[in-house]
Amino acid sequence: MDDYVLVTGASRGIGKAIANELANKGYNLYLTCLKHGDDLKSYSAELSAKYEINCIPFVCDIGNYNDVAEMFEQIPRVNVVINNAGIAWLGLLTDMEPHEWDNVIRTNLSSLFNTSKCAVPLMLRQGGGKIINISSVWGQVGASTEVAYSASKGGVNGFTRALAKELAPSNISVNAISCGVIDTDMNRSHLSDDDMEDLRNEIPAGRLGTPEEVAAMVLKVIESPSYMTGQIITLDGGWI
């Protein structure tokens, strides 16, 4: 397969599962992360050897436009962009420092501008492409003590719908997957065992989602008709 997919935030959690799912299906990959560069490089080599694909790692601050533009100077083509990189901040808004707010917004939302601005010209030259944004149900309903995260994911949803309308005439689809509580290191680091158990009891499915389930949904969106665009697809076990 000649298709190349960019997956941001791919060293762990959802991004790592997405990379494995797509490599297994024969997609070539560009993978990014910022803080776990050695892990990313090792994982990229593992995927390349196991699935006989091209898997190229980039240690990149996806929230920094100059870093992303420099990365794209080394990317001759990209068929799909999966904007997965994200961070959370848990606490009262009044306890949050301005630089912490800025960091959440630039990582979770400004990164979509950065990758899309660089990738869309390549997709236009290729005659089409797909952009898939990993969002959250908190972007739809909001979460107490997660104001910045909720705002950033609400922005992701608005970005998705608006860019989809802008790019539909060019055969570029833009969709988002709005995740419920997924069993990842990020959630485990912010939530206590009791919090996690309370969430399980609230979810009609009776459990947390897995990164592999998100990865499976990403693959379905990639393989969906290009006429599907501007959609916020909820994957939350019936929670919201």
Instruction: Report the catalytic residues.
Output: 149
In 64-171, which ranges are E strands?
Answer: 80-83, 129-136
d(CA 34, CA 179): 22
Q: Can you tell me the distance from the alpha carbon of 156 to that of 51, in angstroms, rounded to the nearest whole number?
A: 32
90 φ/ψ sector (left φ>0, alpha ψ -120 to 50, else beta): beta
Tokens matching residue 212:
């592999």
117 Cβ contact partners less than 8 Å away, ≥ 6 residues apart: 65
- What DSSP string describes 19-56? HHHHHHTT-EEEEEESS-HHHHHHHHHHHHHHHT--EE
Any idea which residue has 């979810």 for tokens?
Answer: 203
CA 21 to chain CA mean position, Å: 14
Closest by CA to 75, choosing from 59, 58, 52, 100, is 58
Q: In the sheet where 129-136 sits, what is the strand order?
A: 55-59, 28-33, 4-7, 80-83, 129-136, 172-179, 232-235
